[in-house]
Amino acid sequence: MNKLKTYLQISDLHFCGWLQRKTADPWAKYIPLLNGYVGHSHGALMYLTKTLKQLKKVEPDLELVVTGDLTAFGNPGQFRIADNFLSTAGKRPGFLGLNTPGWKTLAISGNHDYWPGFPFPLGGTNTAVRTYFPNDWAITPSTVSLR
């Protein structure tokens, strides 16, 4: 009997650095709507890590699909944190990781990944997005001729 392929799709991880966690987290609790938008949730990452390990026991060929917003605002350090989490497994107690080094093959970027690298979506795109999503969609200019 043929077996269907199994995928786990995740999105909106919103990884951020320690400074943003230190400054944004105390205020985010007063605005529940922003929970998860201003930075990643350690509890959610723990749950995701545990869930993926359990699923791989049942579905060893499971593939991870990452659909955007790895970062809180496109900072290169945030991309490194996200890549580290997605690519490696926990080597020390308390370290989280999904152990999926090929995650980039089934991934697309999100709008937060195109932010300029600081907490305001004003300015040009941070080039780090191209390092982590080299085959992402691109806009190709075209010319329309009116005759």
Please check whether residue 74 is in contact with residue 112, taking contact to mean a CB–CB distance below 8 angstroms: yes
Please give the model's pTM, rounded to 2 decimal places: 0.80
pLDDT for 100 equals 92
More confident residue, 30 or 80: 80
Give pLDDT tens digits for 115-128. Answer: 898 877 888 888 88
Here the contacts of 88-93 (C-beta below 8 Å, separation 24 or greater) are 90/49
pLDDT for 7 equals 94
Give pLDDT tens digits for 81-132. Answer: 999 999 987 666 557 889 999 999 899 999 999 989 887 788 888 888 988 9
CATH class of segment(s) 7-132? alpha beta
